[in-house]
Amino acid sequence: MSHTIGFIGAGNMARSLAGGLLHNGFMRQHLLLADPDANQRRGAQEALDLEVLADNRELAARSDVLVLAVKPQVLKDVAAAIAETVQKRKPLVVSVAAGIRIADLEHWLSGQLPIVRVMPNTAALIGSGASGLFANARVTDAQRDEAESILRAVGVTVWVRDEALIDVVTAVSGSGPAYFFLVMEALEKAAIRHGLDTQTARLLTLETAYGAAKMALEGHEEPSELRRRVTSPGGTTERAVQALEQGQIGKLFDDAVAAAIQRARELAVMFGKNT
């Protein structure tokens, strides 16, 4: 018999994960959602045809795997309200709340629980996510597999060896879609400035980004090798790449990732204070 997976929070991420599980054949009767907001409950029920509860404690009492899919600033209150129920049930807890450290969450839930911390990204909403996971020492191999299967329903997963590396995952894949959107935006604007109409510039930009990503995913070469293959000596691509390198594009991305890591650490302290 399948374990029951319960999602606290019925917003976009929870719906995406539950929907991905349904698409992969997970039994509908073993999926639950809960949300205090009536509009969220109605939207989730209509979208997924699943049982959606108003009481987080009722959901926690019925769940073998408890997925916390709420905003980080409200997780402390949510956890405190269900702590007694969770201690009786002892489920695997999977947190997708950005910036919340396992030690803080475990404290709010009164301790001694198997907890997996996850950093997904927004592409999970379309089934193309990239998620990093870290498990505390109480998580068994079977529970690791179960947590991974939930996130694999909406994309690829990687485990990190140290919880601090979740901040790096946050900076690379969690925030990463925005970096690529920014590059697309800049390339589209440049194309328009040099004469293309908006529709043509956007189509060429997006299809080029898609094609490059597909080549990188489906091929076996490193990105640097793929770049060399499309950069003919003395050609237009070489001249463009030189301009990007002269503008220190590598340093810009390094600085961006470092800034995101620093902010992730600041938020972890802020969300976990007064525990």
19 and 152 fall within a common domain: yes
38 and 133 fall within a common domain: yes
157 and 192 fall within a common domain: no
* Residue-range definition of the domain harbouring residue 181: 176-264
The whole-angstrom separation of Cα 128 and Cα 125 is: 7
What tokens does 132 get? 């990093």
pLDDT at residue 1, as a whole number: 42
| pLDDT tens track for 18-39 | 999 999 999 999 999 999 999 9
Does residue 167 sit within a domain?
Answer: no
How many angstroms from the chain centroid is the CA of residue 103? 20
32 and 106 fall within a common domain: yes
pLDDT at residue 2, as a whole number: 67
The whole-angstrom separation of Cα 104 and Cα 111 is: 9
The whole-angstrom separation of Cα 215 and Cα 242 is: 22
196 and 67 fall within a common domain: no
| pLDDT tens track for 47-67 | 999 999 999 999 999 999 999
| pLDDT tens track for 146-192 | 999 999 999 999 999 999 999 999 999 999 999 999 999 999 999 99
> Taking a C-beta distance cutoff of 8 angstroms, is the pair 35, 9 a contact?
yes
Does residue 273 sit within a domain?
Answer: no
pLDDT at residue 271, as a whole number: 86
How large is the C-alpha radius of gyration of the chain? 21
Does residue 269 sit within a domain?
Answer: no
Q: Which residues pair with 6 in a beta bridge?
A: 32, 66
Find the largest Cα–Cα distance for the chain.
69
The whole-angstrom separation of Cα 156 and Cα 202 is: 27
CATH number for the domain harbouring residue 206: 1.10.3730.10
Does residue 272 sit within a domain?
Answer: no
Residue 273: pLDDT over 90: no
236 and 149 fall within a common domain: no
pTM (predicted TM-score) = 0.90
Does residue 270 sit within a domain?
Answer: no
257 and 146 fall within a common domain: no
**Domains identified in the chain, total number:** 2
Does residue 190 sit within a domain?
Answer: yes
Q: Which of 109, 123, 132 is nearest to 154 (CA)?
A: 123
Residue 275: pLDDT over 70: no
205 and 153 fall within a common domain: no
Percentage, residues of the chain above pLDDT 70: 98
If you average pLDDT over every residue of the chain, what do you get? 95
128 and 46 fall within a common domain: yes
Residue 274: pLDDT over 60: no
pLDDT at residue 220, as a whole number: 83
137 and 220 fall within a common domain: no
CA angle 133/83/271 to nearest 5° reads: 55
Residue 200: pLDDT over 80: yes
252 and 154 fall within a common domain: no
> Taking a C-beta distance cutoff of 8 angstroms, is the pair 126, 155 a contact?
no
124 and 199 fall within a common domain: no
| pLDDT tens track for 84-98 | 999 999 999 999 998
